[in-house]
Structure 1
Amino acid sequence: MKLSNTLIVGNIISLLSTVIKADQCTFSGGNYYCSETDAIIYSNVGLSSSYQDVTNMDESTCQCSQQSTSFSGNLSPFNEELSVHFRGPINLKQFGVYYPAASSSSSNLKKRDNNDANEKECTTTKNHQHRHKRDVAVEVVEVTATVFVNAKGESVTPVGNINVAETFPTTTAAAEAAPEADNEIVSSYIKVSTILSSKVQPQEEEQTTTSTSTSKSTKSTSTSVSAPVAGAWERASYFTPGSTSNCTFMNHQGGTAGSGTWSQCFGNSISFANSDGITGCSSATPLDDVTVASGKEFIIFSGDSCDGSNDGCGYYRDGIPAYHGFGGDHKIFVFEFLMPSDTSGSAMNQDMPAVWLLNAKIPRTLQYGDASCSCWETGCGEMDLFEILTAGSDKLISHVHDGQDGGTQDYFTRPTETSLKVAVIFNGNDNTIHIVEVSEDFDDVLSEDTVNSWLNQAGSAAALP
């Protein structure tokens, strides 16, 4: 999650083809919400483009240097290493990462057990921080490259060599006026209005989406989908409260408790997180069975540390505990979590939990702060898996932010009392990412049949009338 005044709005024409009519949706807290869903499929993911990669952070001048970095390939840039981010209120019960058996992505991650790390005492000092299966319903979202629009509704030049099919004169004024009428074109503006209004919340850049949707009461038509590779999937990383294997928990408490750093220029870096997820620690420590409070954030990297050479980590800030993320064309993230209500404080993003993925280069330089000190603004990749947009909402929205864009006003129901188990499947063969509610156990090995069943659960969708 980053705050940004940059708005990226897509080709309105493409929204007209399958957009949900306004009278089927509910307007709440500045956003439209449509149908509850069990699965979201992002299709057409991946493009050839470039982003501005950080090459230096100068403490003497408080400036960062960047250079253009090209990317391409299936799912790019989400085939690059990703870090996994959480914002409270959240209680994480399980987390895991799977790769196809005997794959290079799996073998390159060193199996490092942090189980005994929590035996070390952690102290803190002053913080300088700036700041059950159900009937399946599926949302299918096609992501495409689109027109970039700033906060004034003016078209701006996109970063890199993104192909923009056509420009459509969309403005915030038109989007805000749209709910007054009720024709098909206005429905598309309502969709865009949702995108624009959500920018006031801690969400990011937008572009175009084409989507089809089914409500939970709609009978869907099944089509067969196969796993991206044949055979089993091996668990490369795993967490349960108090225990980790090949996972490293971090937060933004650098310079406060023996890890990371702080400076007048760039504030707190990332640091090892204590077992509460909130304070810092001097060494890698598993998260306990705790509910992390509203507005507090923690991150999971792999257990494989960056070695300072050309090992895929890129440039990272001096003095931080730098670890690899989770890369590859084919990978599966699994989660089990609760998001109970927390209205006890007045933190920024109070009672607005979220789970999202970032290009792992972003937190290793500067996740929050000067845009030139991170590749985020130039499209190196963020995927919001589950995000509450307004305080106290029970609707978790998903969205993609990079040189492409896709999202939906359909939602998963926030798990306030019973935990939600989900799998996020990256399929580099057909350029899709599936977010699927599941009920199976997250064992050491996932069978091909299990993965196929998840993909086919997310592969059922009914066309809108």
Structure 2
Amino acid sequence: MMHILLVASFTLPFAYCKTSGELCKGTGERAPDGNWYCSEVRAITYRNISQAGVYNRTTYVDPGAGICGHETVQYGGTGPLTPLFGEVSMHLRGPMNVSKLAVYQLPSDMHTLQKRKTIPFYNRRRALRKREVGLMGQSPHQAPQQGLLLDKRTHNTSTSCRPRTITATVTVTDCELNVPTTTTVPTRNTTCNSPALPCMSTPRISVPSVRRSRTDCTYKNAAAAATVLEELVATATSHPIEQAGRAAMRHVVREAAADWSRVAYYRSVAPAEATGLSFLANLGDPLQSGTFDYAFGNSLSYVSSNGGKVTSESMPFEGTLGTSEREIAVFSDKACDQDCPYWRPNATSHFGWSGSSKAFFIEFQMDHYQNLGNDQGLISDAPAWWFLNAAIPRILQYGNDRNNVPCSCWSTGCGEFDAFELLGNGEERAKSTLHRQGNLEGGDSNYFKRPVGRMLKFAVIWHYPSITARVLDDDFDFSASLSSDQMQQLVSYDADSWVHSLFAIGS
């Protein structure tokens, strides 16, 4: 990509994880030397990504001096500053054909984003103006002004920084409770994927013991878990527990039973549709959208439907990235406002998707195509689907300042998750990796098979405190909502499975 040549030195936030010749952490085939080596799997769960840590957040970008400033951020196990529990952006690199994209969140997490200002696609803006002319009897000369008024509506931009949890299955007492007087119940979700794993929990409150005996560590449906929690709340009436604690428990019950709503959707096949999404690329041009300077190169900008040219307005994606020379960054359709973390001056900036409960679904195909021009230092025929802390592309996805200091927070560990990445020219094995430099990180050595000559449905699901990437059945429907039971089935781990690998990030 030509814009990268304008930067003297730059870093590549791509995954360089373990190769198939290294030991696997999960499933695999035992070689004659007794070691376990990689194998094709259908799902990989990165278990317990919730740990405290530190990274450097960008506080200013000075294009004149070519310098970026930073401050140290210390974060806890969850919250808006925790890598990948805060806002993330979605990224696509060719060669790739994308048929569908869908983003899901719980209602409590999607509420704040819905308040933000929507930036419509160009064709949608024209449709709005046409509709207003028809409904209000305005002349064509008046219609554009009305359309602009619609674009400038203001909304309440208050935001909640309260940590969210996600898994729809509440595993409070699946592990047998047998305490003489009292026991502890998590105010958030207790996550335990199989009897072989210890239960992991977030902050706790003490309530009287309710003895439950089950043979596994997971309630199989939200209704059963909700019933147990309601009983626990009821028994707490005679116990000196604060009202806030009981309210928190009831909130967990509501979250457990909630459906996941589709907050963004795209499909390339007729009838084409794109709602809740913005498609950007590092092609900034101050005459159209985004910005450019000789210190940091091109910022994010709106991009043409094939990802190849900067545009002045948000455009729908046509679904094809012809080679690895084409990348697209996908954000929500909400433009950054005063509540958005710092972004590069004059860049095109949008909100990503935040919370520890979010899910991304894709249907794509990755046939083999070599780069058309020179590689410009990049790999060829190496498609990828990955997620970044949204602050990275809003600042500078690729590049250092003039003191050779990384401008974004990527190098200090603010978070990247590579869900489906081919690491070399013509590779057939897609790898996954969690990047948090200087903090706990890692990559499972098992792999997903590249979809050549066929479409593949795939999902990445944040379910506190873990992330699961998995292949979906061909008939899986990206419907307007998904039940908590459906989500639980997608992320459930079977210790006896040969096609679901477990990679523990934290203990």
Q: TM-score range by the shorter chain?
A: 0.5 to 0.7
- State the alpha-carbon separation in 1 of the partners of residues 292 and 87 from structure 2: 25
Partner of 1:209: none
Where does 1:416-435 land on structure 2 (aligned, <5 Å)?
416-428=452-464, 431-435=465-469
**Higher mean displacement: 51-60 or 450-459:** 450-459
For 2:364 and 2:47, the matched residues in 1 are separated by 26
Give the Cα separation in 1 of the matches to 2:48 and 2:423: 25
Match of 2:31 among 23, 30, 33: 23
Q: Secondary structure at the match of 2:320?
A: coil
> For 2:266 and 2:25, how far apart are their aligned partners in 1?
42
Q: Tell me, yes or no, if structure 1 residue 108 matches structure 2 residue 113.
A: yes
| Identical columns (%) | 32
Shift of 1:289: 3.4
The alpha carbon displacement at 1:449 in A equals 2.8
Alignment partners' CA distance in 1, 2:322 and 2:468:
27
Conserved in 2, the CA contact under 8 Å of 1:106 and 1:236? no
SS in 2 for 1:97: strand
Shift of 1:21: 7.4
- Indicate conservation of the 8 Å contact 1:257/1:281, yes or no: no
Give the letter for the 1:40 counterpart: I
Tell me how far 1:74 sits from its aligned partner: 3.4
Offset at 1:372? 3.1
Aligned partners of 2:86 and 2:354 also within 8 Å: yes
| Counterpart check, 1:315 vs 2:323 | no
- The 5 Å alignment of 1:304-453 reads 304-307=334-337, 309=338, 311=339, 313-343=340-370, 345=372, 346-347=374-375, 348-370=378-400, 371-402=405-436, 403-428=439-464, 431-439=465-473, 440-453=476-489
| 1:275 Cα deviation from its structure 2 partner | 0.7
- Counterpart of 1:407 in 2: which secondary structure? coil
Is the Cα–Cα contact under 8 Å of residues 224 and 456 in structure 1 kept in the other structure?
Answer: no
Compare the two structures and name the one with the higher strand fraction: 1
Deviation at 1:330, TM superposition (A): 0.7
Give 1:55 shift: 0.6
1:90 aligns with 2:96: yes
Aligned to 1:67: 71
**Mapped contact 2:323–2:371 kept (Cα < 8 A):** no
Taking structure 1 as the reference length, what is the TM-score of the superposition? 0.68
Q: Which digits, 9 at most, give the CA deviation of each residue in 1:397-428, with x for residues without a partner?
A: 00000122121221111111111111211112
Q: CA distance change for structure 1 residues 286 and 5 in 2, over 3 Å: closer, same or farther?
A: closer
Q: Give the secondary structure class of the aligned counterpart of 1:103.
A: helix
What is the one-letter code of the residue matched to 1:417? G
Report the count of equivalent residues.
348
1:78 aligns with 2:84: yes
The letter for the 2-side match of 1:47 is Q
Contact preservation (8 Å) 2:385, 2:421: yes
Structure 1 regions of 5+ residues with no counterpart?
10-14, 26-31, 121-211, 213-220
Instruction: For residues 31-50 of structure 1, give each alpha carbon's deviation from its aligned partner in whole angstroms, at most 9, with x where no partner exists.
Output: x9720110000101121112
Q: Structure 2 length as normaliser, TM-score?
A: 0.62
Please give the alpha-carbon distance, in whole angstroms, between the structure 1 residues aligned to 2:333 and 2:11: 25
**In structure 2, which of residues 40, 43, 53 is the aligned counterpart of residue 39 of structure 1?**
43
CA distance in 2, matches of 1:264, 1:441: 46
CA distance in 1, matches of 2:123, 2:37: 43
SS in 2 for 1:265: coil
Deviations 1:183-235 (A, max 9, x none): xxxxxxxxxxxxxxxxxxxxxxxxxxxxx9xxxxxxxx997666783231101
The Cα shift of 1:107 comes to: 4.3
Tell me the SS of whatever aligns to 1:332. strand
Q: Which has the larger radius of gyration?
A: 2
Secondary structure of the equivalent of 2:488? Answer: helix
Question: Which range is displaced more, 414-423 or 356-365?
Answer: 414-423
